Structure 1
């Protein structure tokens, strides 16, 4: 039975994963996100409504007076975000390993949106269990979490897609082999 070696990720796909890790680290730096929330107070609305704040953050220690359980939930959200992105990029690489710039942009945008929604769902489910939410509140939190996460993921998705498109456009294709004589 022949085995097929699964394709490796292309340069644009690796750039997408690297940008998602960078995004998680930057969101985890509270002086940066705190200043951003000060200048754009609309970013605080989802957190005030009990939904996950922005995107899954990657931190070394819990923020302020929060417990280690919330830190674990945030870290699990980042891991789920990266796992979903990797699985989606791996599936897309089976079709087109080296996409053109336009396709790399849309792939990066879509993967980022879906990955952030998945990561924030982990955080939303954890938060609803911590506050002992009833079924209606739980379902409302999930629905609102999906909607708000998808809307707030558009901006970083466009940035990730732009980087993926830039990497895809600048990647040099290997020269074609000379025809045999």
Structure 2
């Protein structure tokens, strides 16, 4: 029971990256405005965790998306605090993931320094935007953990009795 409460933001983030891996292309084709960032070379939405390439993308693009998705999940998993800290860690994870994806796109495009910096700036903007738009989902998942901390007398999570933070 406490494992689920402590790792719920991580589970929500993992479900998000798997969902975007499975249905991200469908979402981008149904809601056309979401495809605009990808049309100009920016990372689109949340990095998808999938096992095959999409369309004519290459295997290195697939591996970059997988690593970016795992970076996002790992950053959210490292947070042990409440709503705002989890939301902030999701934004940070999206920034790191989209920087990685933008660097890969700039490398594949073979741009010079100006183009490379432009891709990185676009990756930062896209990561910040998607992190702010979707970070509330893992943030809401952190609320049961924060409530358990308050009920234990406001002590730090590392000092709580077993059962509230049994992950270590």
TM-score by length of 2: 0.79
Q: What number of residue pairs does the alignment pair up?
A: 154
Residues of 2 paired with 1:60 and 1:171: CA distance? 38
Whether 2:50 is the aligned partner of 1:77: answer no
Counterpart selection for 1:113 from 74, 88, 91: 91
1:153 to 119, 122, 131: 131
Residue 155 of structure 1: CA displacement? Answer: 2.4
CA shift for structure 1 position 20: 1.3
Q: CA deviation at 1:168?
A: 3.5
Once the two structures are TM-superposed, the CA of residue 34 in structure 1 deviates from its matched residue by 3.3
- Which structure is larger by alpha-carbon Rg, 1 or 2? 1
Unaligned runs of 5+ in 2: 154-159, 162-168
Give runs of aligned pairs for residues 10-25 of structure 1, distance below 5 A.
Answer: 13-25=6-18
For 2:125, what is the secondary structure of its paired residue?
helix
TM-score by length of 1: 0.73
Matched, 1:126 2:100: no
What secondary structure, in the 3-state scheme, does the structure 1 residue paired with 2:52 have? coil
